[in-house]
Structure 1
């Protein structure tokens, strides 16, 4: 999409739903304006290749998602309501104005709780393993010094409100660079994500760790290329340079199988799309390999305990004409 300059500021075409220029406002300001006008900003998941992906979550029902496994480490900054994360080591609450770093590859239970006005809202940034892999050697040196306080879900909060505000501004700027690439190109987006990672390291004492390079991890990376494809063990084994028997044995040793991995990844991606985009449910189903929306809905309910429609924001009540 092309952009132009007006009054010394990069401008973007008017959003068809809101009628105002996206580039003139932060995401928070745009959401506030849209709310006052009785509108809601369209949502999407954006990716800066090899760096990070980002989105925002709007949810107005309290739902518990069990045994969720992330493919990439993720930073979540809560704006409204609060998030409850349960791990084998304990339970963590993340309230509005706070952030949490969630490591990849570990099963967690997540509950998003709306605030008194009935809305849970957050931004998330998932860091690409390729970026983190390039930084891992430096963190390894730091770990030799014994400073790592890593847990599956680690709070990322400053010691005082003034510093926290600057940190959250860094989160906002990184999200904005990823979500509005036509305004902030990749040459700007990567430094903003690196700035955010510097904040994470400063406040946590460590950087997010790239996912382990196991057979399961390598398969996950391949499946991510196209979750709707009809993947076979033979095809994936050849991509990994393994015999089919060795491929099956290694997955079994890691406690999984291709069918389990594929289902979990498809359902995980469907969950993200339902939480963070406005795609129709039927399109979400197609995008993760289900030709039958009813079969998709049944599998989704079986996996998470609630139907896909639960993650769609209910329309606000109509205001009667005066």
Structure 2
């Protein structure tokens, strides 16, 4: 993968004026960029995602497993897979940067060639790592070029879907991504993630998912999960992504994630990730002009 070309194009894109919102100009979380090593515990993306490391090294730990994802490699994150992460800058450039691409249930379904399985085993972490060859590298560059040129959301979705198909040719990942996205906890997470600041009720979420509140609670109980836990996970992980943009304050992130008290948000954030929101914000701000989640 031509990481230097991709980084240059990302810098052009992410230097776009975001106005007063501080939002990522990409219609999906986008990129991370830091100049200081930082560690995060209990990271749990509400949607499946692929992370491509452009500079530096990402160390990912799940239970007793531990792998390194280096520049030119990617890693698949099935929805709600909880890991601890360390991002380390490259010794030459002094920067860590990565591209983060989420995939929702509908997008994964369109990539499937037939009915999805009812279950798929979780492979070891090493089985989720991907070496990015020139074809995937060019697909990534094309995606960023389309975003830079102002491509509409549907065109960018098609670029992401094409990239997912290329990855599936190299790693048998679609069954795993499909089954993880179709869990009731992941579906709830997707609904909440559309507006994490809303005062969600079980009835609201059940209506969005086309089921009854009673059935939803029963389904979640069968997955050993509850709505309160999902709501907190989604809000805190969404807040993490906002802070990693380096473009918003802790108070603003807290409010947009449904917390009226910034100190309450900061306490829950540190308890979960082992780092304060301010520390994440400082790490991200030091890595500008790249931004994202």
TM-score category of the 2 structures, normalised to the smaller one? 0.7 to 0.9
Question: Matches of 2:135 and 2:218 in 1, distance apart?
Answer: 49
CA distance in 1, matches of 2:173, 2:233: 29
Structure 1 residue 168: Cα displacement: 1.8
Structure of greater Rg: 1
Instruction: Kindly provide the CA deviation profile for residues 178-204 of structure 1, in whole angstroms up to 9, marking residues without a partner as x.
Output: x44x62234542442233123202222
Shift of 1:281: 2.1
Task: Quote the offset at 1:94 in angstroms.
Answer: 0.6
RMSD of Structure 2 on Structure 1 (CA)? 3.4
Q: Which residue of 1 aligns with 2:257?
A: 288
Aligned-residue offset at 1:251 = 2.5
Aligned to 1:136: 112
Alignment partner for residue 129 of structure 2, among 155, 176, 192? 155
Counterpart position of 1:28 = 7
Structure 2: gaps (5+ residues): 287-293
Which residues in structure 2 correspond to 1:1-322 (within 5 Å)?
28-29=7-8, 44-45=23-24, 53-88=28-63, 90-116=65-91, 117-138=93-114, 150-151=123-124, 154-158=128-132, 164-177=133-146, 179-180=147-148, 183-186=150-153, 188-207=155-174, 209-210=177-178, 211-240=180-209, 244-276=213-245, 278-313=247-282
CA shift, 1:231, in A, is: 1.5
1:11 is matched with: none
Distance in 2, Cα, partners of 1:294 & 1:167: 43
Query: Where does residue 291 of structure 2 map in the other structure?
Result: none
Structure 1 Cα separation of the partners of residues 26 and 203 of structure 2: 30
Seen in structure 2, the aligned counterparts of structure 1 residues 138 and 47 have a Cα distance that, compared at 3 Å, is farther
Q: 1:96 to 1:195 in 2, by over 3 A?
A: same
| TM-aligned CA deviation for residue 130 of structure 1 | 0.3
| Larger RCO, structures 1/2 (Cα 8 Å, 6+ apart) | 2
Provide the secondary structure at the position in 1 that maps to 2:75.
Answer: strand
8 A contact 1:83–1:112 mirrored in 2: yes
Give the CA deviation at 1:259. Answer: 1.5
- Mark the CA change 1:189 to 1:221 in structure 2 (over 3 Å): closer, same or farther: closer
> Would the alpha carbon gap of residues 80 and 139 (structure 1) be closer, same or farther in structure 2, given more than 3 Å must change?
farther
> How many angstroms does 1:83 deviate by?
0.4
Contact 1:125 1:175 in 2 (8 A): no
Alpha-carbon distance in 2 for matches of 1:73, 1:175:
20
Q: So what's the TM-score if we normalise by structure 1?
A: 0.71
